Amino acid sequence: MTYKLLFNTTRVNQNNLVKCLEPSLRAFYGNEESRFNNLVFKYLSAISDKEITFCSLEIENELIASCLLVSSSLKLNGLNLPIFFLTQVVTEKKFRRMGYFALLLQKIEEFSRQKKRNILIVIARRAVTDLYWKFGFKGFSHFPEYNLKSSLKFPTLNSFNIASNKDLEILRYLHLQSVNSSNCKIARSKLFWQFILKNQSELNCKVLIPKDKMNQNYFILQNNVLIEASSRGDHQNLSSFFIETRNLFNQVKLDRFHSISRDLSLDIWDYTERFEAKEGHLYKLLDTLPKGIEYFFKEIARESGTVRLEISPLDQW
């Protein structure tokens, strides 16, 4: 008997969200309840202002592959371009290496065109980045950036210590506590931290921690640019921490949702956004776009060539 392969789309709401995220739970979270609950909360917060669609390939009601499409937009050269953000892509274990990933992408592209969204964007895990490149995706990253307007500042390290191996465990702990608000989304190994701490001078970076033991946080400067900061503690403690640190750098390159954004006054800092070709951040153009837009995407793709960098400078090591 031949069974018909079906592609289904379902609008995600509060009632079906957990069911739509179950494939991700099995594939990525190993039934870790706390991490999965955080994922559910993230999407519950987004449902109110974003249209989220659960897409699936099925045979006789058996799930083969699935994903979520989150409606969003990309601001570029004064235009607001509608896009789909592709996430939580899962092929069920028994159906892997059978071509269903490619078929799911094909169906998603058809659905996206129907919805007049001609740009797909995905942040892919390293293990599958090459697959997306195989099917026509190219790499880029979209980062916010703050630049100090005035150079009249007086750097001081009086309130901070340069981290060493004795701080290794606390750095690992603080990083894991802050990973959701960091531009580094990777849970680093002990070996990684040891390398960074040992080679700070050669890498032109400083890993700094407050002398005040009540304020457990760290930040990393590279050539006077803040490229990473933890964000542990309540808002009042964080504000105090960031106010102290901001005299030590003249540029900030962090995730747009990082807590420090609340404490960087635009009277002192210029806010801009930059695009860079990076690994993990991928896009695909599905249809003809205005020439200026297509040229822009070709330029950022050309910068990377076949070399795919990491999400933050530190992750290249």
Contact 242, 269 (CB under 8 A): no
pLDDT at site 31: 62
Summarised one tens digit per residue, pLDDT across range 141-173 is 666 778 888 765 555 667 889 999 999 999 988
pLDDT greater than 50 at residue 6:
yes
| Residue linked to tokens 């995730």 | 255
Q: 55: which residues sit within 8 A by CB, 6+ positions away?
A: 7, 8, 9, 66, 67, 68, 69, 104, 107, 108, 111
Angle (nearest 5°) at CA 254 between 248 and 258: 100
Phi and psi based region of residue 174 (left: phi greater than 0; alpha: psi -120 to 50; beta: remaining): alpha
Query: How does pLDDT run across 228-237, given as a tens digit for each residue?
Result: 888 777 777 7
Of 49-53, 116-120, 138-142, 312-316, the one with minimum mean pLDDT is 312-316
For 302: left if phi > 0, alpha if psi spans -120 to 50, otherwise beta; the answer is alpha
CATH class for the domain made up of 146-273: alpha beta
Question: For residue range 64-102, what is the model confidence (pLDDT) as tens digits?
Answer: 999 999 998 877 766 778 889 999 999 998 999 899 999
Pick the range with the lowest mean pLDDT from 60-69, 164-173, 191-200, 273-282. Answer: 273-282
Q: Which residue has the higher pLDDT, 303 or 117?
A: 117
Pure H helices in 224-265: 235-245
The answer to whether 101 and 110 have CB atoms below 8 angstroms apart is: no
- Under a CB-based contact definition with an 8 Å cutoff, are residues 67 and 84 in contact? no
Q: Which residues pair with 57 in a beta bridge?
A: 7, 65
| 3-class DSSP assignment, residue 177 | helix
Quote the pLDDT of residue 225: 85
The answer, yes or no, to whether residue 189 has pLDDT greater than 60, is yes
Average the pLDDT over each of 60-64, 90-94, 251-255 and give the range with the smallest value. 251-255
Residue 168's pLDDT is what?
92
Residue with tokens 């449902």: 47
Which is more confident, 116 or 133? 116
To the question of domain 5-142+275-316 being in CATH 3.40.630.30, the answer is yes
Share of the chain above pLDDT 90, in %: 26
> Which is more confident, 52 or 242?
52
Token code pair at residue 215: 């304020």
The pLDDT assigned to 175 comes to 83
At 259 the pLDDT is 74
pLDDT above 60 for 314: no
Measured between alpha carbons, how far is residue 298 from residues 72, 75, 130, 257, 292 in Å? 21, 17, 19, 28, 10
5-142+275-316 and 146-273 share one fold: yes
Confidence class for position 9, pLDDT limits 50, 70, 90? very high
Could you tell me the pTM of the whole model?
0.61
Burial call 299-310: b when 16+ CB within 10 Å, e when fewer: ebbeebeeebbb
Spatial contact of 55 and 67, defined as CB atoms under 8 Å apart: yes
Q: Which of 159-168, 264-273, 301-310 has the weakest average pLDDT?
A: 301-310
Structure tokens at 245: 């640190």
Please give the sequence-ordered ranges of beta strands (E in DSSP) within 77-157, or none if there are none. Answer: 79-91, 119-123, 138-139, 141-148
Checking if the pLDDT of 279 tops 70, the result is: no
How many Å apart are CA 160 and CA 168, to the nearest integer? 16
Q: Which stretch of DSSP H or E encloses residue 17?
A: helix 17-24
Domains of the chain: which residue ranges?
A: 5-142+275-316, 146-273
Tell me how far apart the alpha carbons of residues 273 and 159 are, in angstroms, rounded to a whole number: 31
* pLDDT score for 301: 65
Alpha helices in 79-202 (DSSP H): 100-114, 126-134, 168-178, 190-198
Q: Which residue has the tokens 């701490």?
A: 197
CA atoms within 13 A on the CB side of 182: 26
Q: Is pLDDT of 277 > 70?
A: no
What pLDDT is stored for residue 39 in this prediction? 83
